[in-house]
Amino acid sequence: MTTATIATLPRSIYIEPTSRCNELCQQCPRTLLSREDDRDLSFDNFRFIVDQFPVLERVVLHGLGEPLLNKELPRMIRYLKARGTYVLFNSNGILLNAKRGQELIDAGLDEYRLSMDGATRETYAQVRGVDAFDKIWRNVRAFIAMQQEQQVGARFIAPKPAVSLWFTAMKENLHELPGLIDLAYEHGIREIHLQRLVYFEQGLAHSKQALFRRSTREELELVHQCEEICKQRGIVFSAAGSATPLESLVRDFGDRPWSGCQRPYTLTYITSSGNVLSCCFAPFGHKSAREYQEERVLGNVFQEPLEAIWRGERYEAFRRDFESDHPAKQCSQCGINWSY
Ligand SMILES: C[S@@+](CC[C@H](N)C(=O)[O-])C[C@H]1O[C@@H](n2cnc3c(N)ncnc32)[C@H](O)[C@@H]1O
Ligand code: SF4
Ligand code: SF4
C-alpha cells in the first residue's frame, strides 16, 4: 500500500452516535472492558465531523452503544442521505417502536441490522444480559408490517431499510441458529449474517466460545445445514468478507494473516467523545483505560482536524506497524483468532 492511497480521506467511516446502552451483552467490550464516558454525540458535533470528509460513500452509525438511544439519530441519517451516503447500523431493537421505526423509514435509512444472539428468551437473556427477547420480536414484526404497508406500491423495489439479522456465533448459542432462521423467516427477514466472535478472555468473549478454527465436526455440519435451509427459503446467509458462513469458520488466512485487511487505508472509526480509532475491532481487548488511550486512540477530532489525524504520526506509526511483522495488538489477532 502506498502513501498515494492515503492521500484521500476515507470514504467509509464508523461514527458512534452514543456510547450509552440498554443491554449488558456478555461478549461486548462495552460491558466487559474499561470504556469511554457515556455520552451522546450532538447533531452539531456530528455535522462538524462528517463535514470534514469531502466524499462519504458509506457510514455505519454505531460504535459501542445502542444507536436508537440518541434522539438525533434520524436527523443524522437524513443529513447523510442528503449527501448521497449509504447509511446503516446495528441495533438491538429494544427501542424500535412505531415512532422510531417511522423516523428511520422517513429519514431514508438503507440498512437496519438487528443483533440477535439467540432463538429463545432464555438464551437471549443469558447472552445479552436483559430479558427483552419477546419485546424485540414484537417490535420487528410491527416494523416490517409497517414497511410493507407503506411501501406496497413499490413492491418490485426492495423495502428500505433492508432488515437483516446479525448473529454473533459462539459455542454457547450456535445450536439455536436453526431456530433463529425459522424466526427470521416468519418475521419476513431475508438476510442473516454469521458474525465472528472477537474475544479477549472475558465473559463470553472467550477463546472457549470461539468457532473459528475451533469448531467440532458437528458444529460445522450444523452450519452447513443452516446454509442449506437458507438456500431453500431464499434467505441470504452471509459471513465476514466474501466467505460463506462455513468457509468463514475454517478459512486459512496464510502468513501475516492480518495483512489482507484494507481498513488502515480506507476506513476510520470515530467515537461519541471524538476519539479516532483504526476500525471497529480497535475497542476490543485492551487491558486498561491507559492502554486504550495510548495504543488504540489515534487522535481526537475535537482537538485536531480529521485530516491531520489521518495523515498524522500516530496513524502513520500504526500503518508502519501494520506493514511490519508486528502490527498493533488488535490486528495481530485478525485472521488467527477470527476472520475479519
Ligand atoms: C457493539 S454493537 C453496537 C450496536 C448495537 N448496540 C447492537 O448491539 O447491535 C455492534 C455489533 O457488535 C456485536 N458484538 C458485540 N460483542 C461482540 C464480540 N465480542 N465479537 C463480535 N461481535 C460482537 C453486536 O452483537 C452487534 O451486532
Ligand atoms: S452489543 Fe450492542 S447492545 Fe450489547 S452491550 Fe454491546 S453495544 Fe450494547
Ligand atoms: S484490527 Fe483487524 S480489521 Fe481492524 S485494521 Fe487491524 S487487521 Fe484490519
CA–centroid distance, residue 117 to ligand 1 (Å) = 10
The 10 Å CB-count burial string (b at 16+, else e) for 260-282 is ebebbbbbbbbbbbbbbbbbbbb
Q: Looking at ligand 1, which atom is closest to the CA of residue 28?
A: 16
pTM above 0.95, yes or no: yes
Compute the Cα dihedral for 79, 85, 86, 92 and give only its sign: negative
Q: Which residue has the cell 456478555?
A: 26
Ligand 2 in reach of 94 Cβ (< 6 A): no
Task: Please tell me the distance between residue 326's alpha carbon and the centre of ligand 3 in angstroms.
Answer: 13
Q: How many CA atoms lie within 13 A of 129 on its CB side?
A: 14
What's the confidence (pLDDT) of residue 1?
Answer: 52
C-alpha cell at 280: 471497529
Residue 240 CB–ligand 3 contact under 6 Å: no
Is residue 319 within 8 Å of 6, Cβ to Cβ? yes
Mean pLDDT split into 10-residue runs, the chain, 340 residues = 67 98 98 96 98 98 98 98 98 98 97 98 98 98 93 73 98 98 97 98 98 98 98 97 94 96 97 98 96 97 98 97 97 96
From ligand 2's centre to the CA of 333, what distance in Å?
22
d(CA 188, CA 140): 9
Phi-psi bin for 65: left (phi > 0), alpha (psi -120 to 50), beta? left
Mind spelling out the 3-state secondary structure of 280-328? CCCCCCCCCHHHHHHHHCCEECCCCCHHHHHCCHHHHHHHHHHHCCCCC
Q: How far is the CA of 335 from the centre of ligand 3 (A)?
A: 9
Ligand 3 atom nearest the C-alpha of 340 is: 3
Closest ligand to residue 90's CA: 1
Phi and psi for 154 in degrees, rounded to 5?
A: -110, 45
Cβ–ligand 1 contact at 164 (below 6 Å)? no
Number of other CB atoms surrounding residue 104 within 10 Å: 24
89 in contact with ligand 3, CB cutoff 6 A:
no
The count of other CB atoms within 10 Å of the CB of residue 234 is 8
Among 16, 20, 36, 92, name the best residue to mutate to test ligand 2's pocket (greatest count of ligand atoms within 8 A of Cβ). 92
Nearest CA to ligand 1 atom 11: 90
What's the CA-to-centroid distance between 129 and ligand 2, angstroms? 10
CB 177, CB 202: distance < 8 Å:
no
Q: What is the pLDDT of residue 158?
A: 77
331: closest CA among 238, 231, 276, 256? Answer: 256
Find out whether the peptide bond into 178 is cis, omega within 30 degrees of 0. no
Ligand 3 centre to CA of 279 (Å) is: 6
CA of 285 to the centre of ligand 1 (A): 14
- Which is it for strands 275-277 and 299-300: parallel, antiparallel or unpaired? antiparallel
The residue whose CA has the least distance to atom 6 of ligand 2 is: 28
Looking up cell 434520524, which residue turns up? 74
Query: Is residue 100 within 6 Å of ligand 3 at its C-beta?
Result: no
Q: Which ligand is nearest to the CA of 258?
A: 3
